[in-house]
Amino acid sequence: MFSKILIANRGEIALRIIRACKELGIPTVAVYSTVDENALHTVFADEAVCIGPPPSNESYLNPVRIISAAEITGADAIHPGYGFLAENPNFAEMCESCDIRFIGPSAEVIRRMGDKSEAKLAMKEAGVPVVPGSDGVVSSVEEAIRVARDIGYPVMLKAVAGGGGKGMRIVRDEENMENSFMMASAEAEAAFGNPGLYIEKYIESPRHIEIQLLGDNYGNIIHLGERECSIQRRHQKLIEEAPSPIVTPEIRAQMGEVAVKGAAHVGYRSAGTIEFLMDAQGNFYFMEMNTRIQVEHPVTEMVYNVDLIKEQIRIAAGERLDISQDEIQPVGHAIECRINAEDPLNNFIPSPGKIEYFHMPGGPGVRVDTHAYSSYMVPPFYDSLVAKLIVHARNRKEAIRRLRRSLDEFIIEGIKTTIPFHKYVINTPEFQEGNFDTHFIENIYDTQKVKEIIES
Partner 1 sequence: MNIQEIRQLIRIVEKSGIDELELEEEGRKIRIRKNQNNVVVATPQNGTNVTYAMPTPAPPPQTPTAPAPASSGEGEATTDSDKYYEVRSPMVGTFYRAPAPDAAPYVEVGDMVSPGQTLCIIEAMKLMNEIQSEVSGKIAKILVENAQPVEYNQVLFLIEKV
- Residue 73 in contact with partner 1, rule: CB under 8 A: yes
How far apart are CB 58 and partner 1 at their closest, in Å? 9
Nearer of residues 53 and 127 to partner 1, judged by Cβ: 53
How far apart are CB 434 and partner 1 at their closest, in Å? 48
In this structure, is the dihedral angle defined by the CA atoms of residues 81, 386, 446 and 336, taken in order, positive or negative?
positive
Give strand ranges (E) for 151-297.
155-159, 169-171, 197-201, 207-215, 221-233, 236-242, 270-278, 284-290
Distance CA(67)–CA(99), nearest Å, equals 10
- Residue 77 in contact with partner 1, rule: CB under 8 A: no
Q: Which of 71, 125, 135, 356 binds partner 1 (CB under 8 A)?
A: 71
Nearer of residues 29 and 313 to partner 1, judged by Cβ: 29
- Residue 136 in contact with partner 1, rule: CB under 8 A: no
- Residue 380 in contact with partner 1, rule: CB under 8 A: no
How far apart are CB 183 and partner 1 at their closest, in Å? 39
- Residue 80 in contact with partner 1, rule: CB under 8 A: no
AA identity, residue 426: I
How far apart are CB 247 and partner 1 at their closest, in Å? 46
- Residue 64 in contact with partner 1, rule: CB under 8 A: yes
Helix 177-192 and helix 141-151, axial crossing angle in degrees, nearest 10? 110
Q: Tell me whether the omega of the peptide bond preceding residue 206 falls within 30 degrees of 0, making it cis.
A: no
Nearer of residues 34 and 90 to partner 1, judged by Cβ: 34
Q: Collapsing DSSP states into helix, strand and coil, what is residue 327?
A: helix
How far apart are CB 453 and partner 1 at their closest, in Å? 36
Active-site residue 149, yes or no? Answer: no
Nearer of residues 14 and 372 to partner 1, judged by Cβ: 14
**Looking at 65, 227, 269, 292, which residue is catalytic?**
292
Nearer of residues 245 and 352 to partner 1, judged by Cβ: 352
Burial of 127 (0-12, 13-18, 19+ CB in 10 A): exposed
- Residue 72 in contact with partner 1, rule: CB under 8 A: yes
Applying CB under 8 A, the site for partner 1 has a residue count of 16
Distance CA(327)–CA(329), nearest Å, equals 6
Nearer of residues 59 and 384 to partner 1, judged by Cβ: 59
Give strand ranges (E) for 265-350.
270-278, 284-290, 333-340, 342-343, 349-350
Could you write out the DSSP letters of every residue in 55-67? SGGGTTT-HHHHH
Nearer of residues 63 and 89 to partner 1, judged by Cβ: 63
How far, CA to CA in Å, does 233 sit from each of 229, 421, 443? 11, 12, 10
Q: Which of 67, 77, 144, 299 binds partner 1 (CB under 8 A)?
A: 67
Burial of 192 (0-12, 13-18, 19+ CB in 10 A): middle
Please, which residues have CB within 8 angstroms of residue 370's CB and are 6 or more apart in sequence? 12, 15, 360, 386, 387, 388
How far apart are CB 70 and partner 1 at their closest, in Å? 9
Site for partner 1 in 43-62 (CB under 8 A): 49-53, 59
- Residue 69 in contact with partner 1, rule: CB under 8 A: yes
Distance CA(305)–CA(299), nearest Å, equals 10
Contact range with partner 1 by CB under 8 A, out of 68-76, 157-165, 210-218, 380-388? 68-76
Site for partner 1 in 26-45 (CB under 8 A): 34
How far apart are CB 65 and partner 1 at their closest, in Å? 5
Site for partner 1 in 84-103 (CB under 8 A): 98
- Residue 201 in contact with partner 1, rule: CB under 8 A: no
Distance CA(312)–CA(321), nearest Å, equals 10
- For the annotated catalytic residues, the residue numbers are 292
Task: Give contact residues for partner 1 (rule: CB under 8 A).
Answer: 34, 49-53, 59, 64-65, 67-69, 71-73, 98
